[in-house]
């Protein structure tokens, strides 16, 4: 009986760990004090008496992002940095705009699963599973379609329609983080040695140098 209760409580404990990737809140809210110099995991809380509705609000996601850039895409994030009421709540949102042929290049979110809804246009989306399978899972989405990119996996989006495309993403972190693969690998500061990258990609060092050049 004691063993049974022990196993049951162990199960309950591990369930609590897997259901709460970010620590669960210990109060109704902890609106971020973005001016505080105190270093904690997340942001320190404002005095709850000073909290107003505006701290739980963000305006502007109806506005199209400027896609006049080499990628032809623009992300408008609404994370804890833009919406302090998100602090400790494990959630955020973003608007993504795509010009025709625009791409959000392969990237990962180290702290978030992403669920994307197409609001306008049509998108090719895809992600790749981890080693050793590296299976590519991809689909073309139309207006109203929803797709999920599992936590940490490399994924991308591409506008395959004739006009602009727009999508809204929910993310399971107040601060999902972004690792854009090209920037991380070829644009780090200082650079990773061309020797390492030439071996990693099994190409000549001159090719690595040309891949590093845009950064
Ligand atoms: C969009 O971005 C481009 C490139 O930075 C800039 O030249 C242009 O003025 C911007 N357009 C608007 C409407 O802000």
* Predicted model pTM: 0.89
Report yes or no on 13 lying in a domain. Answer: no
Report yes or no on 17 lying in a domain. Answer: no
Number of domains in the chain: 2
Instruction: Tell me: do 99 and 124 sit in the same domain.
Output: yes
Ligand 1 atom nearest 69 alpha carbon: 4
pLDDT bucket at 187, cuts 50 / 70 / 90: very high
* Ligand 1 binding residues, C-beta < 6 A: 66, 68
Which residues constitute the domain of residue 57? 25-177
Write down the mean pLDDT value for the chain.
93
Instruction: Tell me: do 97 and 194 sit in the same domain.
Output: no
Helix axes 205-212, 194-201, angle to 10 degrees: 110
Instruction: Tell me: do 87 and 191 sit in the same domain.
Output: no
Ligand 1 centroid – CA 169 distance (Å): 24
As a whole number, mean pLDDT of residues 124-128 equals 98
Ligand 1 centroid – CA 136 distance (Å): 34
Ligand 1 atom nearest 66 alpha carbon: 1
Q: How many residues does the chain have?
A: 215
Residue among 66, 70, 71, 72 to mutate when testing ligand 1 (max atoms within 8 A of CB):
66
Instruction: Tell me: do 47 and 145 sit in the same domain.
Output: yes
């Amino acid at each position: 009986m004691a063993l049974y209760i022990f196993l049951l409580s162990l199960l309950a404990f591990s369930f609590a760990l897997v259901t709460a990737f970010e620590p669960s809140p210990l109060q109704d809210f902890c609106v971020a004090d973005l001016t505080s110099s105190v270093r904690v995991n997340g942001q320190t809380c404002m005095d709850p008496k000073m909290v107003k509705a505006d701290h739980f609000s963000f305006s502007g996601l109806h506005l199209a992002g400027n896609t006049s850039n080499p990628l032809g895409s623009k992300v408008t994030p609404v994370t804890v940095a833009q919406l302090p009421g998100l602090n400790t709540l494990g959630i955020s949102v973003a608007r993504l705009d795509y010009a025709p042929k625009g791409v959000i290049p392969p990237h990962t979110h180290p702290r978030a699963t992403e669920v994307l809804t197409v609001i306008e246009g049509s998108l090719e989306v895809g992600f790749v599973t981890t080693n050793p399978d590296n299976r590519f899972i991809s689909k073309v989405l139309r207006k109203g379609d929803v797709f999920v990119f599992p936590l940490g996996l490399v994924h991308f989006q591409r506008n395959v329609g004739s006009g602009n495309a727009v999508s809204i993403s929910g993310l399971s972190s107040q601060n999902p983080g972004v690792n854009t693969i090209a920037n991380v690998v070829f644009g780090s500061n200082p650079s990773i040695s061309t020797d390492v990258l030439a071996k990693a990609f099994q190409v000549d060092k001159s090719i690595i140098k040309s891949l590093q050049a845009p950064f």
